[in-house]
Chain A
Amino acid sequence: MAHADIERVEREGLAALAAIDDLAALDDWRVTWLGKSGTASGLLRGIGALAAEERPAFGAAVNTMKQALEGALDERAAVLRAAALADEMAGDAIDVTLPGTRPPQGGLHPATVADRRALQIYAEMGFQVYLSREVETDEMNFELLNMPKHHPARDMQDTFYISDEVVLRTHTSPGQIRAMRAYAPEPIRIVLPGMVYRSEQVTVRSEMQFTQIEGLAIGPGITMADLKGTISNFAGRYYGEDRPIRFRASYFPFTEPSAEVDVRCTCGGEGCKLCKGTGWLEIMGCGMVHPVVLKNGGYDPARVSGFAFGGGTMRTQMLAHQIDDIRHYWANDLRFLEQLR
């Protein structure tokens, strides 16, 4: 009879427990069923009615039953706590599609972003940055670069003059002479980024102030094939491996041979408005450093050779982002700047 009681108590206790659905009532249940004067303990109080040899087994069975109830209590408590938490969180639900709160965000100017990308690629090829001044002598900007006064090539670069002998640099190339004179006769592998100035009408396509990056390599074994390899590597990363480039002969007074580098237009070569039907976009000028320039820089053109390349970085960025007006760059309108940082 006694063992049957144990089973009954367990059954009834579990049933009562299952009926409970709030955490506070669990405590009452514990007192009722597992407390010192609770039902389970009550069974033990009746142990005296049993034969002595049955007592240990009965006691053990009651304890096992109590443990089962305790286990069930913990389980039930866990379930109810989880349900309560879930209820609480359900009430805390928010609209996750509302805008996030951003910390005040700064950023770099698009021209800086474009320069850094190019400089990083050049750096990985061993071209280190050389910074050079912006107000230059006519000698540095032109004459030492094989452009004497009244040279026809000066027509290509309308110049801002400070005096007869001082100009705003029209290109980053005077830095070539400064670098050569600083490093000769050591070999050179540098890039010269910076602001340059041209006395041009400011229009949708042309600016009187713009950024340029120029590269220069000088050493005993530098060839035009190396120039092609270097620019191909750069263009593959900057424009994508799938954009072919081509070298066509051109003219710059400070390089010979000289070439212009074109990259396949975004139209894939079909010809479009952007490339004026040619299928190609001009990205930079380049060439082998002219012997006169090497000499002016302090190198012996019979023993060393070099290449130079350079172009505007804004133009490339304009193509990539379909920026239709170069005047955005220095207008500093946040609606422009914030899109490209």
Chain B
Amino acid sequence: MKVVWSWLKDYVNLDGVTPEELAERWTLAGLEVEGVTRVGDWWDPALIVVGAVTRVEPHPDADRLCLAWVDWGAGEPHRCVTGAPNLYQLREQGDLPTPMKVVFAREGSVLVDAYSDDPTPKRIKLKGRKVRGIMSDAMVCSERELGISEEHEGILVLEDDAPVGAPIGDVLGDAIFDLDLTANYAYAANMVGIARETAALLGRPFTEPPLPTLGDTAQSDGAGDSTGDNTGAGAGADAATLVAVAIDDPALCPRYTARVIRGVTVGPSPAWMQRRLRLAGMRPINNVVDVTNYTMLEWGEPLHAFDYDRLVARADGGTPSITVRLARPGETMTTLDDAERTLTPKTLLITDSAGPIAMAGVMGGADTEVGAETTNILLEAATFDFVSIRRATKHYALPSESAWRFGRDVPPQLSEAGSRCAAGLLAELAGGTVAPGVVDAYPGPRTNPTITMPIADFERVLGVALPSAEIVGLLHRLGFEAAVQGDDYKDGETLTATAPAHRVDQQLPADLIEEVGRVYGYDRLPATALADPLPTQRDNPRLMQEDATRDALAAAGLQEIISYRFTAIAHESMLDASAGGTGTSSGDETGADEQNGVSSTYVTLRNPSSPDRAVMRRSILTGLLDAAAANRRYRERIALFEVGSVFHPAAGKDLPDEPRHAGLVLLGPGTPGDWRSSGEAQDSVRPLDFYDGKGAVEVLLDTLGVEATFAAGSHPSLHPGRTAAVHVGGEEGAALAGHVGELHPLVRERWALGDEPVVVAELDLDVLAQASGVVRPFVGFSTYPPVERDLAVVVDEATPAGDVERAIRSAGGPLLVHCALFDVYRGEQLPAGKKSLAFSLRFQAPNKTLEGKAVDGMRGRIVKTLESAVGAEIR
């Protein structure tokens, strides 16, 4: 909303306050000012001043020009050459009986180039030159030249009391505030409202604009029982005889008032009103529309003007009868933007006997629109349920100043002021006659509640002890009725307060606390340390696990990424090697349900921002592969991880499961190349593969204190021969925590990730959490010398190394303190289908030096076990 400084001054004295200071005060009190625009702050105060045209003569050598003598408060009147029509027409007058106050600019003034076609014309410096033989080194200015408006038909004429010689900024200078008002400050979204607020904040009186009495005091109950037979807008007829009003559901329309103004002449509104509307950001249209807009800006009551004669015509010459009701199924209307609209049954309408004439509070109908020929007007000032208006505004996508206000709850009390103000202005500015009386359907007058609360609550919440007199004083400044009962501050002193009608937001004690705090100033509240005892402190295992996961993987050389949790089903189905998905279409594999946007597998957005962000991810891998593909354009080695929620709809529940997953992706050379390895053969650098991924997972599991087993597994995205399933929870009740493996070549291809292995892992942190926290007891280490033995075992190709190692450990006994695989050999010296696994073994006793013979014995036992358990042959 835009607030005009000069307009505001009509209602509150702003002497000694700069617009910037006021903007700051408003902002701190919750009325956020987004910007202050100064009008005319660039006008040179010494060169552009108020002048008085005292004499006008024809130009001796130019038919279309005239000469004007301007008194600008210094010496003799200055002669100017001008062609401005409003002076030219006076050229035969000579000395003017009453001097005409104008804007006078001397040589050197900077003014807008009024003859430029540029939409934002440049400013140019005024230079003296001869015009048809006569020196012209000063000028009288149009609005356009001052940058106030586009008006350039004539010069700007000032009010008669403008002081000659005064800098023009003192007369026409202004400031426009751009306010961004939150929902609760809607009451201040009008000049009267912002003036009340300003007066309260500055502690100055508020001058309410006077409302015309219009000669009526009686109010009809609005039952629509007009019985008069005078169907025309005849003089003297009471409004109640001219229109009937009925409200179907008072919950949707708490109040509807109608006045009739007869004999208006539609034309332009006066310059002062146009100027204010323009400064406030609205386009002047004609005096009738301008009056309704002006009144809305002044009082906050949106109004609508109907062409009364159209209503009479629609009633076949009878008395128009207005009904406020919901749309009927299939009902349509043409709104004044000439759009034919099919109305939903939740749309609140203003109707007459012939059908809809307006979408209540949102937009009028074309058929009853006020036009140039209109002479009689029905003026609506009403209040509608804000939810209903909001719904309609959104549904029909018809935002407007009116709908914005109605959508934030206009108090029904405002109808009175709005209707009177606009009717008075229509009489004054459009030459209308206001029919006596108002038809006022107001079934259940609304009042603000009286709030009672302990005075001590202000301190309890704000943290500052305010005397009750100060609290009451602050509330009075805001227009509240407020009083205190009792005299003991801590115990028994009670505040009773009622908000003024326009403050529909004041319903609870907390509302009063906020008002008092806000006007007192939050900047004046102390800043204190929390004095309440510290609540019980608790560990947060989930957070600790997530942090430990991130730290472990980062320390292992992986970079964390965070992806959109949104994806498309088609995109995520690219993860399934057996599906044909290319990621570009939703494909058959997603099933009919998915095509309708409903999925039992995916958490599906009803209003996605785009089709490729239509569902919540089930897997963390898509984001990782997308990032790998994107970064691979300029990086050889990619090592990324992500930790975050994935979303699995849970059968029979509203809310999905949100397991936290950790995923990683590795591809490229095993070691990052640098200047030292540049000479080495490219193929001597081992690419990252399954075992690098497994190693990273092992590091993570160690960090989390999880005992896990790796076994050959299968996963739709992974190479069937290069996938391990990770289980936790021991042999009994082992739970699948996830997989690590190399991408299936088909999947790798879909992300265009080249020919080398791409290792990924996805683990469910919630499953790991169930198995984590294994506290391993400390194992002492011996000071006696160890005995090292190597052992090469030939086994079938299919025998997993893990089985061999397990057999060695179990046969080795407690003195086998270390067993590590150090070589895997396949080749000429071995029969086909066999491989050799070489282990280094270390034997050590806690209490003595082991004899070689004893070690040989232990090794022998291991060999025997291996022969029988895994069919091994010792080399």
Contact = CB atoms under 8 A, between A and B. Distances in A.
A131 B672 contact: no
Contacts of A161: 605-607
A331 B633 CA distance: 14
A11 interface: no
B184 interface: yes
Contacts of A165: 654
B476 interface: no
Interface string B653-678: 01110100000000000011011100
Interface string B404-415: 000110000000
A247 B523 contact: yes
Nearest to A149: B387
A277 B23 CA distance: 13
B553 interface: yes
B493 interface: no
A257 B605 contact: no
Contacts of B536: 186
A291 B605 contact: no
A103 interface: yes
Contacts of B533: 187, 219
Contacts of B528: 223, 225-226, 228-229
A332 to B, nearest CB: 4
A239 interface: no
Contact of A199 (B555, B607, B675, B676): B607
Given A226-B530, A250-B30, A332-B561, A305 B525 contact: no
A162 B522 contact: no
A172 to B, nearest CB: 14
Nearest to A294: B510
A107 to B, nearest CB: 5
A107 B675 CA distance: 23
Nearest to B387: A150
Interface stretch (A1-9, A53-61, A82-90, A133-141): A133-141
Residue in A99, A150, A219, A341 whose Cβ sees the most chain B Cβ within 10 Å: A150
A337 B554 CA distance: 13
B514 A257 contact: yes
Contacts of B634: 335
A236 to B, nearest CB: 10
B182 A250 contact: yes
Interface in B546-582: 547, 550, 553-566
Interface stretch (B239-247, B315-323, B459-467): B459-467
A151 B183 CA distance: 9
Interface stretch (B47-55, B623-631, B853-861): B623-631
B557 A105 contact: yes
A232 to B, nearest CB: 5
A78 B578 CA distance: 76
Contact of B543 (A129, A208, A288, A334): A129
A102 to B, nearest CB: 8
A163 B606 contact: yes
Contact of B537 (A128, A130, A259, A291): A128
B733 interface: no
B604 interface: yes
Contacts of B671: 104
A162 B599 CA distance: 11
A166 B529 contact: no
Interface in B129-158: none
Contacts of A257: 461-462, 510, 513-514, 517-518, 522
B606 A162 contact: yes
B217 interface: no
A109 interface: yes
A304 B697 CA distance: 47
A276 B559 contact: no
A64 interface: no
B542 interface: yes
B386 interface: yes
Interface in A158-175: 160-163, 165-166, 168
A280 B675 CA distance: 48
Given A135-B655, A248-B30, A249-B518, A101 B674 contact: yes
A221 interface: yes
A332 B562 contact: yes
Contacts of A150: 386-387, 390-391
B562 A329 contact: yes
Contacts of B631: 332-334
Contacts of B461: 223-224, 257, 288, 305
A318 interface: no
B635 interface: yes
Contacts of A168: 605, 616
Contacts of B470: none
A291 B508 contact: yes
A108 B558 CA distance: 9
Given A109-B560, A189-B534, A225 B460 contact: no
B627 A104 contact: no
A277 B658 CA distance: 43
A131 B514 CA distance: 30
Given A152-B386, A186-B536, A334-B631, A104 B183 contact: no
A37 interface: no
Contacts of A222: 530, 532
A284 interface: no
Contacts of A153: 182-183
Interface stretch (B224-232, B639-647, B718-726): B639-647
A161 B637 CA distance: 39
Contacts of B126: none
A148 to B, nearest CB: 9
B534 A330 contact: no
B679 interface: no
Interface in B436-455: none
Given A187-B535, A202-B609, A112 B560 contact: yes
Given A112-B550, A224-B461, A257-B513, A135 B183 contact: no
Contacts of A251: 30, 182-185
Interface string A281-309: 00000001011000000000100010000
Contact of B511 (A111, A199, A256): A256
A317 B625 CA distance: 27
Interface in B25-57: 27-30, 32, 34-35
Nearest to A132: B658
B387 A109 contact: no
Nearest to B631: A334
Contacts of A163: 606, 654
Contacts of A166: 654-655
B534 A108 contact: no
Contacts of A219: 532-533, 535
B538 interface: yes
Contacts of B397: none
Residue in B517, B529, B560, B639 whose Cβ sees the most chain A Cβ within 10 Å: B560
A338 B654 CA distance: 39
B183 A248 contact: no
A209 interface: yes
B550 A186 contact: no
Given A161-B605, A276-B34, 4 more contacts: A134-B647, A222-B532, A248-B29, A256-B511
22 contacts: A98-B675, A104-B672, A106-B553, A106-B639, A128-B538, A131-B542, A150-B387, A151-B183, A152-B183, A183-B535, A189-B534, A223-B462, A224-B463, A229-B527, A248-B29, A249-B30, A256-B508, A257-B513, A332-B562, A332-B563, A332-B640, A341-B559
Return the 7 tightest CB-CB contacts between A and B, nearest first: A225-B463, A223-B463, A249-B30, A104-B557, A152-B183, A251-B182, A257-B514
Interface of A: 98-99, 101-109, 111-112, 116, 125-126, 128-131, 133-137, 149-153, 155-156, 160-163, 165-166, 168, 183, 186-189, 195, 197, 199, 201-202, 208-209, 217, 219-226, 228-230, 232-233, 246-251, 256-260, 276-277, 288, 290-291, 301, 305, 329-335, 337-338, 341
